[in-house]
Structure 1
């Protein structure tokens, strides 16, 4: 597991792993990664007839343990019909609150993956937000963990990895969410066929 209080050499290795994965991207992977959050933003706006912020909140709330196609289908159905089903009650409660007008930042855990996912979709040009999911973790540590615990529910561990992505982005001259998205595309395609959960976030 990633050491929370690791030495600078360990942190530096995580940054280098992220950069190495970025540099291994094909032009097509770079293009898809670079546009991932803008495409998601446009989808969030389309689902909600122009309210991209609410749409981003609904998508983020429904994203846990779901593939992206599953998430988008649930979000569309929820917004269009008002029928909330197909997920854990906690996620559905958050969706109901957002659909009723609550600001997503008052509903979602903002310093964890779900909150960061909302921020990246709501504003693809956000200069700080970065999503750390299991794939982002594995890119940073340079190892595919499979079903082993990554400790991402620990705030300090999440913050450490997020900072590594921010540092990698600074060196690459990119946004943190762009670096995460591109390396996510590279990594998930690299391990395709070896994971029973596919590309779920």
Structure 2
């Protein structure tokens, strides 16, 4: 069940606390890997697109929906090697092809939800505004694994408020929001697999 979020209300505070709790539970190794995550993704984007970070980040983001990171990397790498994206659903492939053809990812991707925010985090890991709210980031904030249940992340208002939860946690920690998201993501994913 989706819970409305009020930034001044108890749910927002609880969600922020949930994010901080997962941050605190991260091991030293998980924290180090999470803190380096977007810088590494930025380097990957540079490498696979032969220096065109925007194109590399855009294709990675376009092909990220409902894919594990390793699969996402393989699809994006293969797209640049072959010159044609494949292995995903039509809309993602069309967006990736448009970006590979030279269109600006910011005109191709929906910039106010996950795909566009993921692009921004990869394209510039020092940007203090973007937050990638995927299903795991959602579940961390709400403190519950939703499994296959819908999370309402295409609702821009819900997405924006969850992003603000990560911004609030980041402010308390003195970190960038995408760093908080990445560290908590690593900790959460690895806790799930135990």
Give the TM-score of the pair, scaled to structure 2: 0.96
Is the 8 Å Cα contact of residues 99 and 105 (structure 2) preserved in structure 1? Answer: yes
Between 98-107 and 184-193, the greater mean CA deviation after superposition: 184-193
Offset of residue 191 of structure 1: 1.0
Is the 8 Å Cα contact of residues 19 and 166 (structure 2) preserved in structure 1? Answer: yes
Offset of residue 4 of structure 1: 3.6
Alignment of 1:181-196 (within 5 A): 181-192=182-193
Offset of residue 88 of structure 1: 0.8
Is the 8 Å Cα contact of residues 128 and 176 (structure 1) preserved in structure 2? Answer: yes
- Runs of 4+ aligned residues of structure 1 deviating over 4 Å after TM superposition are none
Q: Which runs of 5+ in 1 are unaligned?
A: 194-201
Offset of residue 10 of structure 1: 1.3
Deviations 1:94-130 (A, max 9, x none): 1111111100000000000000000000001110100
The corresponding residue for 1:159 is 160
User: How many pairs does the alignment contain?
Assistant: 193
The corresponding residue for 2:100 is 99
Q: Which runs of 5+ in 2 are unaligned?
A: none
Distance 2:41 2:175 in 1: 19
SS in 2 for 1:50: coil
> What root-mean-square deviation, in Å, do the aligned CA atoms of Structure 1 and Structure 2 show?
1.2
Give the TM-score of the pair, scaled to structure 1: 0.93
Is the 8 Å Cα contact of residues 30 and 182 (structure 1) preserved in structure 2? Answer: yes
